[in-house]
A and B are shown apart, each in its own frame.
Chain A
């Protein structure tokens, strides 16, 4: 591959891709220059695949052929668009209109009416994009997309991840050429340093310094590794990037290998992500075929190749030393640092390890410059961050925003608020290592420091929204259950500490605790923070500490009054039937899984508290609101 060949491929595809990025009027002009009248993009991310996008693709294929327009329409199966709760998702260009929750029958109509006869199927569009007067706004102008700034996700939902030429069409692999052709390793490291980017995997260590340490470490053999062991339950940005834009990771790792002087790379990815693994395999193969990976890349004398290693379901392997130990084929237990991986990492050699999202920014930083990147964000946190919005929020999905955006903008504008008219209670960030941010801090600009000051952390970017129906004691208990399961058991403070903490929380949730137990939690948590071997144990108490700090009155209600204000903790709940409201329809009694409800037809029913397992089925079934929870 030479630069001229790369340019030729880019020119062949760039117009097609521009149609997907321009505003509708200009996109229409651009579309005329291409060989396709229209393009139809179907999301092939894990979320949409689960909700049936494969059937959509089949139906689309059949109908295009049936109508005889398969040569005028380009079908692109992309990675994740970000709006996972609306899947399966289909977008048609040049109009840029957005069809949500598409069915195979809907696709047939889209082909017949829209693609063939230019009549947009308004009733199938995502309702936010259709105004009351019938006018349609493109996806890019919806609240969900308007405030976003997509750098790491730039190609997700835009290109076909299994076609390297589409990636090249977005100026892909040009940064790699620039580096190999005209930059010294020192200049590359300096560019990354100057950009101010910090690790997107959790801790937020300056990426450029990692690169510098690895480059300066003595040794002939060095490695470059990518952490794609996205273990935080509720975070899925790394998966989406690998599924939607795998070449961005390959290009960045190759750039890194040149900067630090490595010739072998490893991507450690969760086995639970089969689609991501497959796309990465396809991308690696294509990169090798095009001479962008392997020996003498671009004829510039640099050799580099990448191997995939699958994880096997251990959260602790997201910790850097545990991950490297796991690649070596051992139990994934962490080891003390120093020595840091930059000095003594994989197989005892200096190793550069970055997270997927971090790598996804690198090619853009090289191509557009450190100054461009550092112009975004806050004083200490530059650039953008991807968040996985989940929980009690209307627009569940992936969003990328400049650092410094407030929680209110994310939840109310981009996320579309809390469904069901419920009240926002807290946002959980940082997963099992993070904490809960209460509603009163909703105007906090988000960056590494501000989240830490609130007792939470950036983490990998899971952002779980909770409403008034979520109990904070229950949430802490949930995270502790997770860390009890996932503690590797190597060091005592974590192995025993997490279990003890969980027991104390269990006591609270059952109304058996005293106020002294809160002090005990505090002292135990501090010991764990200072004496655990790795970040898993050090941060495991965070969910508990932050919720005790921010929602102390809720803990006290459990302890002092034996009451769960959110109505979640089962042992403190009681279901009753209000005799005046009960019509005796027997629906509750028929649905009760344990036969705890008795009564005759048209007479008020009664719940036997001893038999009741508090599953709540009676309450959700009652049409008269006669079942109450106390």
Chain B
């Protein structure tokens, strides 16, 4: 977890009410911390320390325990993600078909590295391990969209299409 300057926490009362419901649902369930964190990330998009504190208080566990679990699993993020989440698959099937070069092209295009978010909060890049679409290798996803059988060039053009869409707003 790198200590990058991040957007300050801006939770709304509605989100907090929703989080309380999630906490309530899992409070007495054996092993309820993981589902609570998953629910919380679904509400806020990430798990800032403020949210972890609320979960610790709500479930009656220590903050260190919450932090320990939140940092162990790669799906949990302590920093916010970009509006467009670009995710390049580095699973074996994609890798042997050159997804490392796809990642490079995307990083170069956006001027950030994997695990980072652009300053305007529009794009973030991450690497993932196999989305299970090995037949389409190499694969990248942007949000829910899946792009397969990519070349570095095509990947770069796809990013372009998101950039111009943004410019047209």
Contacts and interface: CB of A to CB of B under 8 A. Distances in A.
28 contacts: A46-B131, A46-B133, A47-B132, A50-B136, A51-B135, A233-B129, A235-B130, A236-B134, A271-B38, A271-B75, A272-B75, A272-B130, A272-B132, A312-B34, A314-B72, A327-B31, A329-B31, A329-B33, A347-B31, A390-B134, A391-B92, A391-B93, A392-B97, A431-B92, A462-B92, A464-B93, A470-B96, A478-B92
- Size category of the binding interface on chain A: 35 or more
Nearest to B76: A312
Interface in A515-547: none
B10 interface: no
- Size category of the binding interface on chain B: 35 or more
B129 A482 contact: yes
Interface in A79-127: 83-87
Nearest to A307: B29
A236 B132 contact: yes
B140 to A, nearest CB: 11
Given A331-B69, A347-B30, A272 B135 contact: no
Interface string B43-80: 00000000000000000000000001100111110000
A309 interface: yes
A392 B134 CA distance: 11
A419 to B, nearest CB: 11
A330 B34 CA distance: 8
A233 B73 contact: no
Given A50-B148, A390-B137, A331 B68 contact: yes
B130 A233 contact: yes
Contacts of A46: 131-133
A616 B152 CA distance: 10
Interface string A355-394: 0000000000000000000000000000000001011100
Interface string B71-108: 01111100000000000001111011100010011001
Interface in B126-169: 128-137, 139, 146, 148, 151-153
A332 interface: yes
A178 B134 CA distance: 39
A405 interface: no
B35 interface: yes
A620 B104 CA distance: 16
Contact of A328 (B30, B101, B136): B30
B32 A329 contact: yes
A84 B134 contact: yes
Given A329-B32, A390-B93, A466-B96, A47 B73 contact: no
B129 A315 contact: yes
Contact of B129 (A231, A239, A273): A231
Contact of A396 (B75, B134, B152): B134
A549 B74 CA distance: 33
B34 A329 contact: yes
Contact of A593 (B34, B92, B108, B135): B108
B166 to A, nearest CB: 22
Contacts of B73: 311-314, 332
B96 A329 contact: no
Interface in A185-226: none
A83 B35 CA distance: 34
B136 A85 contact: yes
Contacts of B95: 233, 478
B93 A233 contact: yes
Contacts of B105: 593, 615
A159 to B, nearest CB: 20
A624 B75 CA distance: 46
A313 B74 contact: yes
Contact of A234 (B38, B68, B93, B152): B93
A617 B91 contact: no
B152 A617 contact: yes
A625 B75 CA distance: 44
A488 B72 contact: yes
A402 interface: no
A128 B50 CA distance: 58
Nearest to B68: A331
Nearest to A347: B30
Q: Which A-B residue pairs are the 7 nearest by beta carbons?
A: A84-B135, A233-B91, A312-B73, A390-B93, A329-B31, A234-B92, A313-B74
B133 A50 contact: yes
